[in-house]
Structure formats: structure tokens, C-alpha cells
Amino acid sequence: MTKLLAPDEIEDKICEIILTKNIPVKHFLNHYVTFSYPRGDGTPNVEVDEKGYHYVLSERGSEFERRTTLDIHELYYWVFQDITFEIASDFAVKNPSTWEQRRVRFKNQLEWLRCIDSDFTKRYLKEITEILERAPFDDGLPNNMDWESWEG
């Protein structure tokens, strides 16, 4: 089995990516995710044990989501998906549009994920497609947009 990174090593790598890619985080990293010490307020916490990397969400003492992987790249995707969601949501609120807010948020989040890792973009595009199959846009524009080339 491959040696797993320790929580502080994961935190260091995430900080390095944020700095080198100029990700516009408004807060310290622990606002978005914690490492080894859950706050219990819904903030994701990264844990590492012999079973792998765990991305855990808990609130008021109750765990409501736990994702586990042995793939560090997968863990980074989960972390950056949440960080870029918050950045993109903030952008969509501050930049009102005639388009549905999700459309603006999806596009902005895709741009940030593309900046971090092209594989993240491909994965998120698939997730957007699944979301729109269940809950289409209601702004009158097509759901099956070419997100890669869409300029908004």
C-alpha cells in the first residue's frame, strides 16, 4: 500500500496550490476545511487512518457525510470543489445577471477548477450535466451548453 500523506502534509499541499494558482480565498484555509480536528459546524474535516483519506462533515456531534478514498487526487478534488463552490457562489451574488444564478456559479466554478486541474473540470462538467438532468435551468437558455466555450 502507498504511504498516505499526513493531515499537515495535505494542508501544506492545498495551501501551496491556493498560492501558486492565485485562488481568491477570502479566509484562512480552516474556514473552508479543517485537518484532524472537526469543528462540528458542518465544515469539512480531513482525517487520515489506515483505511485512507476521509472527508467528513459533521454538525453538533452528528456526522452526516463521510467520503473515503485512497487516492489523494480524489481528496484534493473534494476539497477544491467545496472551496471553489464558495468562491463561485460569492461571485454570482456580487455579479447579478439575467441568467439563473446557478448558471453563473457553475461557469465561475468551472473556471477555478480548470485553473487548478483539468481533470477536476472534466469531472465537474459531468456532475453539472447530472444536476441539470434532475433540475434544469429556468432562465430560458439551453441546458446542454458547451461549458468549455461558453462565455456567459
Is 56 part of any domain? yes
What is the predicted pLDDT for the residue at 152?
45
Is 124 part of any domain? yes
Is 141 part of any domain? no
Question: What's the rounded Cα separation, in Å, for the pair 36 and 92?
Answer: 32
Question: What's the rounded Cα separation, in Å, for the pair 39 and 118?
Answer: 31
Q: Which domain holds residue 94?
A: 7-134
Is 142 part of any domain? no
**Residue 11 dihedral angles phi and psi, to the nearest 5°:** -60, -45
For the chain, 152 residues long, the average pLDDT of each consecutive 10-residue run is 90 94 81 87 94 95 94 97 93 86 92 94 93 88 63 46
- Can you count the helices (H) and strands (E) in the chain? 4, 4
What is the predicted pLDDT for the residue at 149?
55
- Look at residues 90, 93, 101, 110 and name the one whose alpha carbon lies nearest to residue 151: 110
What is the predicted pLDDT for the residue at 96?
82
Is 32 part of any domain? yes
Is 20 part of any domain? yes
What is the predicted pLDDT for the residue at 27?
73
Is 91 part of any domain? yes
What is the predicted pLDDT for the residue at 47?
96
Structural domains in the chain (count): 1
* Angstrom distances, CA of residue 143 to CA of 9, 128, 147: 40, 10, 10
> Which pTM was predicted?
0.89
Amino acid at 96: P
What is the predicted pLDDT for the residue at 25?
85
Instruction: Count Cβ neighbours within 10 Å for each residue of 123-139 and write b for 16 or more, e otherwise.
Output: ebbeebeeebeeeeeee
What is the predicted pLDDT for the residue at 99?
81
Walk across the sheet containing 52-59 and list its strands.
34-35, 45-49, 52-59, 62-69
Is 57 part of any domain? yes
